[in-house]
Structure 1
Amino acid sequence: MGWASTVTSNRSVIASVSLAAGLASVWLLAFVEGTGPRDRAVLSALYAGHRPAIAEAARVLTLFGSGYVVTIVIVAAAVALAVRKHPRTALILLAGNFVGRMLVEVQKYEFGRIRPDLNPHLVTVYTMSFPSAHSSNAMLTYVAMALLIVRNERRRVYWAASALVLAFLIGLSRVMLGVHWPSDVLAGWSFGALWSLLMLWIAQRTARPVRVEGRAQ
């Protein structure tokens, strides 16, 4: 490996570690500062209980982050990858998604944050509040799919950006429906993004080397 390649590799590692540390810091801040005056102010401003059309749009958006929907999406994606002769990527995507979602439920149980009660909930909820599973699901499913499935770098950027927009809207819908503190959503986004990056790292490290004329590249 040449000097330029080594420098590029080191910069990539530093950037990845910095991004991971930043996401972990956002999660920690959301946990420590959550349910305070800022959370309450943002929740009151975004609540859609008195705006029926926006509330209905939020109900539709939130469905895309529900456990039922993301399960169907991720299983379908894994099956498609397996059929197209990418079993390792399929396994990483499927296992990573389910383990990540399980860890979100563990966090809910362990931290036990109560859901906001400033306004009536506009959808039915059953579990604890921190972190937002819908927000995390969106990252673990749509963003992870964009990162792991799309091979072309330019197209990957486009699909990842689109997935991030969808994840943002899904998380926003949970606040608008009055069922999550904004900090819950931030924690869900940050954890889901961090876990998706871990899945990408595993996929890259376990990828088969490309062989040209009998030599590994």
Structure 2
Amino acid sequence: MTDSSEGKNLSSFRSHKVWIVACWGLAIVFGIALRLGWMPAIDLPILTWIHNNQVSWLQQVMYVFSISGNWQAYLILLAVLALILIPKKQLRTWFFLTFNTLTTFGMSQLFKLIFHRERPADFFLIEQSGLSYPSGHAMVSVAFYLSAALMLARLYPKGKWKSIILGAVSFLPGLSRLFMGVHYPTDVLMGWLLGVSAAFFWYELWLQPEKEKSIIRLAGKSLFHD
């Protein structure tokens, strides 16, 4: 790794931190507005259009993606990943993915309790309890699958296309919740935003040992040249 690339890594870490804080700040402000009774203008028209233009086969596909975002699915995925990653001496990677999933789920539930937005019950195609903002499916799926895609792309550079596909798929469980009629569009959009920020937060933490080595190398070269 060159000096310039090491410097870029360190500066990107700082910029990512600012971006992550901004995302969470925006979500909090948005949630406060919802709590005070604001209804975004895009929510009902988009949800109504989706509801009135459902296609049977697509609805079934989206139902599968909706189920894939349930907590039971993540338990199975994390168990499978443990069997794959731990024998390959990637316990730290598995731990970060697990902690990412648990903390993101916890934060989504905390946000729901704080901002207390009711679900769009008139659009329900499946039974669903709980509150609406943000979409836990959108938030957790992006946090989990996108961070997994980033980590796997780093560990296995030859399989980057698989990581790109995995990253793209991460948005489908959230999208499926609109087709099931259990979330407003802004619930999903903000869930995606929070999920992306969580994914990059945990990815940056996962990279810390490598970044620390970069700092040491830069410091050593600086002293040597002096």
TM-score range, shorter chain: 0.7 to 0.9
1:47 matches 2:51: yes
2:76 corresponds in structure 1 to: 72
**2-structure distance, mates of 1:48, 1:89:** 43
1:191 matches 2:204: no
Shift of 1:61: 1.9
**2-structure distance, mates of 1:5, 1:54:** 44
Q: Where in structure 2 are the equivalents of 1:156-195 lying within 5 Å?
A: 156=160, 158-195=161-198
1:140 corresponds in structure 2 to: 143
Q: Deviations over 1:167-212 (max 9, x none)?
A: 22221111111100011111211111111111111111145969xx
Q: Where in structure 2 are the equivalents of 1:1-217 lying within 5 Å?
A: 4-5=4-5, 7-9=7-9, 11-13=11-13, 15-17=15-17, 19-21=19-21, 23-24=23-24, 27-28=27-28, 30-31=30-31, 32=33, 35-47=39-51, 50-119=54-123, 121-150=124-153, 151-153=155-157, 155-156=159-160, 158-206=161-209
Which shifted more, 143-152 or 96-105? 143-152
Stretches of structure 1 lacking an aligned partner (at least 5 in a row): 211-217
TM-score computed with the length of structure 1 as normaliser: 0.81
The verdict on how the C-alpha distance between 1:79 and 1:107 changes in structure 2, with shifts beyond 3 A counting, is farther
CA contact under 8 A between 2:69 and 2:173: conserved in structure 1?
yes
The verdict on how the C-alpha distance between 1:54 and 1:79 changes in structure 2, with shifts beyond 3 A counting, is same
Shift of 1:75: 2.7
CA contact under 8 A between 2:138 and 2:173: conserved in structure 1?
yes
Instruction: Indicate the percent of aligned positions where both proteins have the same amino acid.
Output: 21
Which shifted more, 1-10 or 109-118? 1-10
TM-score computed with the length of structure 2 as normaliser: 0.78
CA RMSD of aligned residues (A): 3.0
CA contact under 8 A between 1:78 and 1:93: conserved in structure 2?
no
2:217 corresponds in structure 1 to: none
Corresponding letter in the other structure for 1:133 = G
CA contact under 8 A between 1:100 and 1:192: conserved in structure 2?
yes
The verdict on how the C-alpha distance between 1:160 and 1:2 changes in structure 2, with shifts beyond 3 A counting, is closer
**2-structure distance, mates of 1:159, 1:18:** 29
Which shifted more, 165-174 or 24-33? 24-33
Kindly indicate which of the two structures has a greater share of residues assigned to helix: 2
CA contact under 8 A between 2:17 and 2:201: conserved in structure 1?
no
The verdict on how the C-alpha distance between 1:146 and 1:85 changes in structure 2, with shifts beyond 3 A counting, is same
Q: Deviations over 1:52-83 (max 9, x none)?
A: 33322221121221111122112321342112
The runs of at least 4 aligned residues of structure 1 exceeding 6 Å deviation read none
